[in-house]
């Protein structure tokens, strides 16, 4: 039993990290009043841009052994950030500058992003001339997977706490920093004001559009890292089309589940990661069908939280008030 | 001395514009989008851009079969878009079309499988009733919580999609055929119980006719009935609606029952009419695309025929390009995304206009 839990926890955490990136990014975005339903697409774009970067770098090397681990991490990360930044700028341009409907823009971005990921993923597979329908960048992935050297020596505790790669700790750090910034600083106060009531914020001299742009773009870059983590670390550098699945939507579910608090998101994402893979650990024997029902759990839990938070109707546990609404100064 | 920095232009809301102005702007966005798509295809494949348009048209009109598939896909997308429209008009963001249609599809497939020994005369009415009911229930659950407690409907309906997907995945294993395949093959391939009849020698004809009827019905419902009026009042201003004595909660739940039921109808048509099978990908993302179809047509059922046709036409065309040039099938999604971005951006110029700021010197003169 203890053994099972020990093998379960790290995997739950590994599953949870992409969700944590996605939800932290989306919380930052939603705090500015922008509801970015394009996050699943952004995460695909982040993932594939990292893959493109890694692919180009690996191709430019004379031999796989000549890999410089610093560059191998830096290049894909920069590509990933750039790709997700462009997606964020696109969303902002359409919804903030052109005041388009956020739901429609977000869904279009998801269609585009998932298509973009699968298209370039598929094309790179062809370019690399592999027989298999996926792309393996194991050399780059190994650089991403470097763990702390003393992790192995600390036994069970070391594996559980120190046995992860830097992207895992980065995700937790970003979530905690985001939480601090949103709740404890003046910038965060302004950001929340923009999300709650842009009219008031504008009257108080806050540059509403600037805040919306910054929050959404930074949010997208954070979410994009989730895609990068998934491909480079979790999947071992293997890009297969549609492998990322519906994790992007799960990240949005996590936003509601944590009631817009990134610090809670750290533990909640591990919980969701656990729920996501729970079906592999439930002894169901030959009855494969039940496993499909277990996969439903994260969504059902989210719905329940959504209902309960609206039932209790506490003022500090609500979505930002102007979430999803465009702001036009002359429109009152 | 005026030292404050003046922006180059400012944005003003347009007043009344003639109806053709909006459609002119949209037509320009679509043309620009198509040019952009042609350019992207040229960059990726190295073909000349004219070839792009020729291939797109060939993908939809190349043969009578391709044309019928085009019409069928348009009809299905249109059906879900029509279903979502009354909810959208009420400012209820129902993005759960996918789940509601899946619920309908599941109910229809369940009838076909469980009543395979009964005659069609019994099975088909049962399928119709259960799938409409299943869709309606799936839509009404978020509506109930929205009406009673103000639960965020966008996120609720979104989550309901995946609950439905997993339930369908569950039943796909329970009813797997043959055993061990993990999927439901064609249901009742020999007895054809629960299969809708072919009309004019095509299995698509009945679906298309039904959707045409739904389109007309929805147009009349929204524009010429008391219900339609109530929906638009609730959408414009909930407070006004309450003030003039409309029970908002009732309208929200009733409208979502209708919305869900029509989504269920789409699921029914997919299972009973064309696919004769069930899997969790049967709705194929139409629940999401339909949101855009409905919004692009400004919630007008007649224009929706055009927008859904346009999107399906482009998807089929992009698919044809993908196969012709040996590209990945996801190329179609990229092109769809680009086109949507152009159209979404174009909407701005219908509502607002940019006015160049005259320099302050001129104003002084």
Tell me the domain boundaries of chain B: 1-47+325-365, 66-311
| pLDDT score recorded for residue A223 | 94
| pLDDT score recorded for residue B359 | 56
Q: Which of A32-41, A130-139, A233-242, B29-38 shows the lowest mean pLDDT across its residues?
A: A130-139
Q: What is the pLDDT of residues B99-118, one digit of tens each?
A: 999 999 999 988 888 887 88
| pLDDT score recorded for residue B107 | 92
From chain B, the residues in CB contact with A122 under 8 A are 327-328, 330
pLDDT over 70, % of chain A = 89
Of A128 and B337, more confident: B337
Q: What is the pLDDT of residues B267-303, one digit of tens each?
A: 998 888 888 888 888 888 888 889 888 888 888 888 8
Helix ranges, B90-190 (H): 97-114, 120-149, 153-174
Of B162 and B57, more confident: B162
**Nearest CA to B123 among B108, B137, B104?**
B108
| pLDDT score recorded for residue B365 | 42
Q: What is the pLDDT of residues A56-71, one digit of tens each?
A: 888 887 776 777 778 8
Of B194 and A192, more confident: A192
| pLDDT score recorded for residue A46 | 93
| pLDDT score recorded for residue A23 | 93
* Chain mean pLDDT for chain A: 84
Please indicate if any CB of chain A lies within 8 Å of the CB of B338.
yes
Cβ within 8 Å of B, A 95-134: 98-101, 103-105, 107-119, 121-123
Shortest Cα–Cα distance, B37 to chain A (Å)? 13
Average pLDDT over residues A133-138: 72
Distances (CA, A) of B349 to A94, A325, B355: 12, 18, 12
pLDDT at A220 over 90: yes
pLDDT over 70, % of chain B = 95
Distance of CA B348 to the CA centre of its chain: 22
From chain A, the residues in CB contact with B12 under 8 A are 330
Quick one: pLDDT band at residue A179, thresholds 50, 70, 90? Answer: very high
- CA atoms of A45 and A225, how far apart (whole Å): 10
Q: Which of A19-33, A166-180, A228-242 shows the lowest mean pLDDT across its residues?
A: A228-242
Reading the block at residue B92, the tokens are: 């209820």
Helix ranges, chain A (H): 2-31, 39-60, 69-92, 102-127, 138-144, 155-162, 166-184, 186-196, 198-203, 208-229, 247-257, 262-281, 289-294, 297-312
* Chain mean pLDDT for chain B: 83
**Nearest CA to B252 among B238, B266, B267, B265?**
B238
DSSP state of B354: E
pLDDT at A274 over 60: yes
Task: Give the residue from B7, B170, B325 with the most A CB atoms within 10 Å of its CB, the best one to mutate.
Answer: B170
Cβ atoms of B143 and B255 within 8 Å: the answer is yes
Average pLDDT over residues B142-153: 86
Average pLDDT over residues B39-56: 77
Of B9 and B172, more confident: B172
pLDDT at B364 over 50: no
Q: Which of A96-105, A221-230, A246-255, B181-190 shows the lowest mean pLDDT across its residues?
A: B181-190
pLDDT at A82 over 90: yes
- CA atoms of B54 and B52, how far apart (whole Å): 5
Quick one: pLDDT band at residue A212, thresholds 50, 70, 90? Answer: very high
pLDDT at A178 over 90: yes
Cα Rg of chain A, angstroms: 20
Cβ within 8 Å of A, B 141-170: 145, 149-152, 154-156, 158-160, 162-163, 166-167, 169-170
Of A90, A98, A307, the CB nearest to B145: A307
pLDDT at A40 over 70: yes
| pLDDT score recorded for residue B1 | 46
Cβ atoms of B136 and B268 within 8 Å: the answer is no
Cβ atoms of B131 and B240 within 8 Å: the answer is no
| pLDDT score recorded for residue A227 | 92
Burial class of A166 by CB neighbour count within 10 A (0 to 12, 13 to 18, 19+): middle
pLDDT at B327 over 90: no
pLDDT over 90, % of chain A = 30
* Range B66-311 classified under CATH 1.25.40: no
| pLDDT score recorded for residue A185 | 92
Of B154, B337, B348, the CB nearest to A115: B337
Quick one: pLDDT band at residue A131, thresholds 50, 70, 90? Answer: low
**Nearest CA to B275 among B117, B163, B109, B128?**
B109
From chain B, the residues in CB contact with A322 under 8 A are none
pLDDT over 90, % of chain B = 18
Cβ atoms of A226 and A21 within 8 Å: the answer is yes
Angle between helices A2-31 and A39-60 (to 10 degrees): 110
| pLDDT score recorded for residue A276 | 83
Of B145, B163, B330, the CB nearest to A310: B145
Quick one: pLDDT band at residue A225, thresholds 50, 70, 90? Answer: very high
Of A29 and A331, more confident: A29
| pLDDT score recorded for residue B4 | 63
Q: The whole model's pTM is what? A: 0.87
**Nearest CA to B202 among B47, B27, B66?**
B66
Shortest Cα–Cα distance, A162 to chain B (Å)? 34
Q: Which of A108-122, A135-149, B25-39, B279-293 shows the lowest mean pLDDT across its residues?
A: A135-149
Domains of chain A: 2-147+156-317 (1.10.3470)
Of A112, A121, A310, the CB nearest to B150: A310
Which pairs count as long-range contacts for B68-73, CB under 8 Å and 24+ apart, including other chains? B68/B202, B68/B204, B69/B204, B69/B316, B70/B312, B70/B313, B70/B316, B71/B204, B71/B208, B72/B204, B72/B207, B72/B208, B72/B274, B73/B312, B73/B315, B73/B316
| pLDDT score recorded for residue A80 | 93
Reading the block at residue A238, the tokens are: 């293997």
* Most confident among A125-139, A286-300, B85-99, B315-329 (mean pLDDT): B85-99
Shortest Cα–Cα distance, B331 to chain A (Å)? 6
- CA atoms of A185 and B320, how far apart (whole Å): 53
ipTM reported for the complex, 2 dp? 0.85
Residue in A with minimal Cα distance to B333: A115
pLDDT at A272 over 70: yes
| pLDDT score recorded for residue A323 | 82
pLDDT at A286 over 70: no
* Most confident among A5-9, B18-22, B105-109, B153-157 (mean pLDDT): B105-109
Distances (CA, A) of B20 to B25, B33, B301: 9, 20, 17
Reading the block at residue A146, the tokens are: 């470097």
Please indicate if any CB of chain A lies within 8 Å of the CB of B171.
yes
Average pLDDT over residues A215-227: 93
Of B154, B170, B351, the CB nearest to A292: B170
Cβ within 8 Å of A, B 288-317: 288-289, 291-292, 295
Quick one: pLDDT band at residue A156, thresholds 50, 70, 90? Answer: low
């Amino acid at each position: 039993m203890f053994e099972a839990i020990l093998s379960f926890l790290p995997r739950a955490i590994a599953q949870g990290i992409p969700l944590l990136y996605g939800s932290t990014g989306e919380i930052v975005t939603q705090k500015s009043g922008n509801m970015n339903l394009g996050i699943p697409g952004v995460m695909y774009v982040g993932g594939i841009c990292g893959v493109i970067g890694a692919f180009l770098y690996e191709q430019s090397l004379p031999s796989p052994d000549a890999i410089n681990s610093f560059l191998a991490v830096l290049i894909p990360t920069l590509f990933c950030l750039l790709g997700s930044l462009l997606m964020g700028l696109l969303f902002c341009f359409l919804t903030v500058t052109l005041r388009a409907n956020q739901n429609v823009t977000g869904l279009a971005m998801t269609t585009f992003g998932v298509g973009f990921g699968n298209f370039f993923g598929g094309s790179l597979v062809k370019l690399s001339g592999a027989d298999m329908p996926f792309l393996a960048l194991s050399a780059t992935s190994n650089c991403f997977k470097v763990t702390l050297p003393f992790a192995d020596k600390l036994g069970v505790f070391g594996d559980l706490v120190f046995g992860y790669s830097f992207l895992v700790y980065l995700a937790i750090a970003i979530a905690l920093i985001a939480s601090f910034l949103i709740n404890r600083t003046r910038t965060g106060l302004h950001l929340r004001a923009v999300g709650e009531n842009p009219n008031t914020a504008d009257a108080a001299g806050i540059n509403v559009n600037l805040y919306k742009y910054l929050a959404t773009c930074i949010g997208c870059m954070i979410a994009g890292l989730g895609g990068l983590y998934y491909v480079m670390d979790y999947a071992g550098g293997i890009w297969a089309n549609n492998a990322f699945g519906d994790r992007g939507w799960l990240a949005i579910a996590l936003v509601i589940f944590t009631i817009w608090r990134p610090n809670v998101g750290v533990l909640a994402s591990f919980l969701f990661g656990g729920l996501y893979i729970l079906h592999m650990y439930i002894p169901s024997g030959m009855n494969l069908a039940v496993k499909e029902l277990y996969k439903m759990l994260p969504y059902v839990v989210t719905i329940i939280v959504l209902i309960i938070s609206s039932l209790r109707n506490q003022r500090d546990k609500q979505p930002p008030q102007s979430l999803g609404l465009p702001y036009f100064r002359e429109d009152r | 001395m005026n030292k404050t920095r003046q922006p180059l232009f400012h944005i003003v809301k347009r007043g009344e514009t003639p109806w053709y102005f909006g459609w002119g702007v949209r037509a320009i966005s679509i043309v620009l989008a198509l040019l952009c798509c042609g350019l992207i295809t040229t960059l990726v494949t190295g073909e000349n851009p004219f070839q792009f348009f020729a291939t797109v048209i060939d993908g939809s009109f190349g043969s009578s079969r391709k044309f019928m598939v085009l019409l069928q896909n348009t009809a299905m997308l249109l059906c879900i878009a029509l279903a979502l429209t009354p909810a959208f008009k009420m400012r209820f963001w129902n993005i759960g079309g996918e789940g509601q249609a899946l619920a309908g599809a599941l109910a229809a497939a369940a009838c076909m499988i469980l009543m395979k020994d009964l005659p069609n005369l019994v099975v088909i009415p049962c399928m119709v009733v259960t799938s409409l009911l299943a869709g309606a229930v799936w839509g009404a659950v978020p509506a109930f919580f929205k009406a009673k407690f103000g639960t965020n409907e966008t996120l609720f309906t979104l989550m309901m999609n995946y609950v439905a997907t997993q339930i369908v995945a569950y039943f796909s294993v329970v009813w797997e055929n043959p055993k061990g395949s993990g999927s439901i093959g064609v249901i009742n391939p020999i007895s054809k119980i629960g299969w809708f009849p072919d009309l004019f020698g095509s299995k698509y004809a009945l679906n298309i006719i039904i959707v045409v009827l739904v389109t007309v019905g929805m147009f009349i419902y929204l524009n010429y009935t008391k219900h339609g009026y109530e929906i638009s009042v609730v959408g414009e201003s909930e407070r006004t609606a309450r003030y003039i004595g409309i029970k908002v909660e009732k309208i929200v739940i009733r409208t979502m029952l209708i919305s869900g039921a029509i989504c269920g109808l789409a699921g029914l048509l997919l299972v009973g009419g064309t696919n004769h099978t069930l899997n969790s990908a049967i709705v194929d993302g139409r629940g999401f695309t339909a949101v855009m179809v409905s919004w692009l047509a400004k919630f007008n059922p007649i224009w929706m025929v055009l927008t859904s046709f346009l999107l399906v036409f482009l998807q089929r065309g992009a698919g044809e390009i993908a196969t012709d040039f040996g590209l990945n099938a996801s190329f179609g999604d990229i092109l769809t995304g680009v086109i949507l971005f152009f159209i979404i951006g174009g909407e701005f110029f219908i509502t607002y206009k940019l006015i160049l700021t005259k320099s302050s010197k001129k104003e002084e003169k």
